[in-house]
């Protein structure tokens, strides 16, 4: 599933094309792409046509395009294989195309935003914007203290200026869950998925099964620093793509996969100590770590 870097790459790519653009037309090819939307495909098309998009924002793995009037937004979740692509107006349908938005931009002219999704777990929806409880910006890309109702339960990510580090530390201190499970809990900290959790824990020398409440304060400081470093490096490299499903708005894959130290490197030598990276089952997924550098204490 796309994590913060992959979704932020998409948001940043969309922003220049959608900000200030008017939606000239909407075509829903497959209403399975509207699982998060309340209403029919025809209602979705009608409610968006003629609207002006004012920004492109993101919190965690969700992104949204606020609409004129300031009361609602078009939100998107990429699921496991969703893609938001920028294409020329009138371009041929994309493989697995589910929804197409035809835009008219005052500077860039006509352009299309295509939502393609092979596995159909992703979704677009129109959702109400509500005030953020902390009065800070709802997400990266929009300074207003508004967030879609469907996204309000998602915690801020470690790169968000409004990320509450004290709240995060308090959540760890009272949790008896494995530290990796806490990192994957989007209600505590958002944007971190399996790949970047493994990478940050490797960098911080923490075993993924370490009980969160037993992680010392200074180690939490190191962990947060490594989480931020991993996310920022992945952003700089366009995210992680293994099967070319996670792509930017131009259909280009990121190359952070070449920088991975633990994830997906089962049996290969740890870049730090040379011992073999191991893979174990974890929450219907897998954890990758070095048993020598990341000892369970």
Coil, helix or strand for 102? strand
285 in catalytic set: yes
The answer to whether 61 is a known catalytic residue is yes
Q: What is the largest CA-CA distance in the chain?
A: 59
User: Which residue in 3, 6, 97, 199 is the catalytic one?
Assistant: 3
What residues are designated binding site for DNA?
A: 96, 119
Q: Determine the Cα–Cα distance for residues 254 and 251; give it in Å rounded to an integer.
A: 10
Distance, CA of 256 to CA of 235 (rounded, Å):
8
For the chain, strand residue ranges (E) read 22-28, 57-59, 62-66, 72-77, 82-88, 97-105, 109-117, 123-131, 146-148, 278-282, 285-289
Q: Tokens in use for 87?
A: 């294409």
| Annotated binding-site residue numbers | 96, 119
Q: What are phi and psi of 101, to 5 degrees?
A: -110, 125
Nearest to 175 by CA among 211, 223, 201, 216: 211
Concatenate the DSSP letters of all residues of 241-259 into one string: -SSS-SB-TTSPBP-GGGG
Measured at the CA of 183, the angle between CA 181 and CA 187, to 5 degrees, comes to 95
- The number of beta carbons lying within 10 Å of the beta carbon of residue 245 is 19
Where residue 69 falls (left for φ over 0; alpha for ψ -120 to 50; beta otherwise) is left
Give residue 61's region: left, alpha or beta (phi > 0; psi -120 to 50). alpha
Q: Is the dihedral of CA 32, 151, 21, 50 positive or negative?
A: positive
Q: Which of 36, 61, 87, 265 is catalytic?
A: 61
- Catalytically active residues, by annotation: 2-3, 61, 285
């Amino acid at each position: 599933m796309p994590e913060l870097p992959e979704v932020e790459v998409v948001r940043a790519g969309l922003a220049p094309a959608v900000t200030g653009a008017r939606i000239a037309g909407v075509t829903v090819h497959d209403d399975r792409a509207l699982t998060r939307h309340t209403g029919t495909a025809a209602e979705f098309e009608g409610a968006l046509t003629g609207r002006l998009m004012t920004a492109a924002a993101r919190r965690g793995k969700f992104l949204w395009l606020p609409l004129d009037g300031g009361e609602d937004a078009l939100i998107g979740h990429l699921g496991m294989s969703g893609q938001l692509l920028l294409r020329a107006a009138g371009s041929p349908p994309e493989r697995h195309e589910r929804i197409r938005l035809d835009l008219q931009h005052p500077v860039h002219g006509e352009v299309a935003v295509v939502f393609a999704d092979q596995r159909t777990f992703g979704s677009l929806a129109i959702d109400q914007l509500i005030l953020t409880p902390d009065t800070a910006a709802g997400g990266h890309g929009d300074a207003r203290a508004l967030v879609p109702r469907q996204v309000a339960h998602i915690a801020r990510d470690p790169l968000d200026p409004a990320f509450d580090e004290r709240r995060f530390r308090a959540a760890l201190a009272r949790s008896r869950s494995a530290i990796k499970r806490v990192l994957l809990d989007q209600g505590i900290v958002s944007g971190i998925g399996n790949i970047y959790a493994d990478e940050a824990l490797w960098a911080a020398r923490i075993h993924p099964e370490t009980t969160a409440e037993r992680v010392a304060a200074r180690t939490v400081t190191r962990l947060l620093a490594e989480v931020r470093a991993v996310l920022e490096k992945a952003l700089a490299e366009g995210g992680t793509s293994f099967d070319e499903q996670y792509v930017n708005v131009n259909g280009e894959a990121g190359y952070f996969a070449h920088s991975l130290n633990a994830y997906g490197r089962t049996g290969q030598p740890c870049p730090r100590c040379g011992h073999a990276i191991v893979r174990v089952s974890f929450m219907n997924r897998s954890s990758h770590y070095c048993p020598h550098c990341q000892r369970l204490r």
